[in-house]
């Protein structure tokens, strides 16, 4: 009997234990469900609050972004305008400089053509002058040869000289020269004086110098005044009695034993003379 009682008690205890376990599980499940519901509600409330809180922030950010986009667009437009303006200015400047360059190039071309034309004209003139000079040289040589061969004229430094083998007074000597397109010799320098000395030898000859118009004012036959001469020692010394000039290459004995050079003497005395004719007198009309 006791065994059966114990068995009954054990079974009852086991059933109570199972009932407690089932209740505990139910309570746990219920608690879990309540916790899940609360967590879900809390999550929804948090999301709602977050959405409410963040909505203005997103709205402000969008506004800033929109303003930034507009500013960037305006800046881009301004930049494009500035670039277009710069391009236009550069184009205008380039066009002006190009036109100036073209104008300068045309001017330089015209100047070059003018210089070429002037050079051609100068070349033609030079050739004409060369041709004329050659012709004049040929004429001079021909005249010189003709004079030297026919009349005994001697050529020296652009002039012809002639000393006749006779004697006359100073005035008659000059007349003889002028009748032949010449005049009494004018001695301009030492070289010409030496030439006359060699030409005359021992002869004493009249030259084209006189003070017959104004005493002591010696003038050549072309009207020029004597500035320096080759007077002999003590000459001139004849005063109003001696107004014409001779040249002596070798002292004449016994009259002028120590005299060489120029001296004045009476114009009426007969002496040899030298005529001079410039080459220009033969060539120019």
Helix (H, G, I), strand (E, B) or coil at 197: helix
What is the C-alpha separation between 124 and 118, in angstroms, rounded? 10
Whether 141 has a pLDDT exceeding 80, the answer reads no
The mean pLDDT of the chain is 81
Strands (E), 181-278: 183-184, 204-210, 219-220, 244-248, 261-265, 272-273, 275-278
Q: Taking the chain, what is the end-to-end CA distance rounded to the nearest angstrom?
A: 196
Report CA Rg, the chain.
70
Whether 166 has a pLDDT exceeding 80, the answer reads yes
Assigned domain for 55 exists: no
pLDDT at 24: 55
What are the residues whose beta carbons fall under 8 Å from the beta carbon of 228, sequence distance 6 or more? Answer: none
Assigned domain for 251 exists: yes
Assigned domain for 21 exists: no
Total of domains in the chain: 1
Assigned domain for 78 exists: no
Assigned domain for 131 exists: no
Q: Which of 234, 237, 264 is nearest to 248 (CA)?
A: 264
pLDDT at 74: 87
What range defines the domain where residue 168 resides? 157-283
Assigned domain for 52 exists: no
Assigned domain for 27 exists: no
Q: Which of 226, 228, 236, 227 is nearest to 259 (CA)?
A: 236
5-14: average pLDDT: 52
Tell me, what CATH number does 170's domain have? 3.10.100.10
Instruction: Select the more confidently predicted residue: 2 or 71.
Output: 71
pLDDT in tens, 252-268: 867 778 889 999 999 99
pLDDT in tens, 54-64: 444 455 677 77
87-105: average pLDDT: 89
């Amino acid at each position: 009997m006791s065994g059966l009682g114990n068995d009954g008690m054990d079974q009852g205890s086991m059933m109570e234990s199972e009932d407690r376990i089932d209740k505990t599980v139910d309570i746990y499940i219920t608690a879990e469900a309540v916790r899940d519901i609360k967590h879900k509600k809390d999550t929804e409330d948090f999301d709602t609050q977050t959405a409410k809180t963040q909505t203005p922030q997103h709205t402000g950010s969008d506004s800033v972004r929109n303003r930034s986009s507009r500013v960037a667009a305006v800046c881009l437009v301004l930049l494009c305008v500035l670039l277009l303006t710069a391009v236009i200015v550069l184009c205008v400047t380039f066009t002006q400089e190009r036109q100036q360059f073209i104008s300068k190039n045309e001017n330089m071309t015209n100047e070059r053509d003018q210089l070429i034309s002037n050079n051609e004209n100068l070349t033609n003139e030079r050739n004409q002058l060369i041709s004329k000079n050659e012709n004049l040289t040929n004429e001079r040589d021909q005249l010189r040869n003709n004079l030297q061969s026919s009349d005994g004229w001697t050529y020296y430094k652009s002039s012809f000289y002639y000393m006749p083998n006779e004697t006359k007074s100073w005035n008659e000597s000059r007349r003889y020269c002028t009748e032949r397109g010449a005049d009494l010799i004018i001695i301009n320098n030492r070289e010409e004086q030496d030439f006359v000395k060699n030409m005359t030898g021992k002869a004493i000859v009249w030259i084209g110098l006189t003070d017959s118009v104004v005493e002591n004012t010696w003038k050549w036959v072309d009207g020029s005044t004597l500035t320096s001469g080759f007077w002999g020692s003590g000459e001139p010394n004849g005063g109003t009695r001696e107004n014409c000039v001779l040249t002596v290459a070798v002292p004449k004995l016994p009259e002028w034993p120590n005299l060489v050079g120029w001296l004045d003497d009476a114009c009426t005395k007969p002496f040899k003379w030298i005529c001079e004719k410039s080459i220009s007198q033969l060539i120019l009309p």
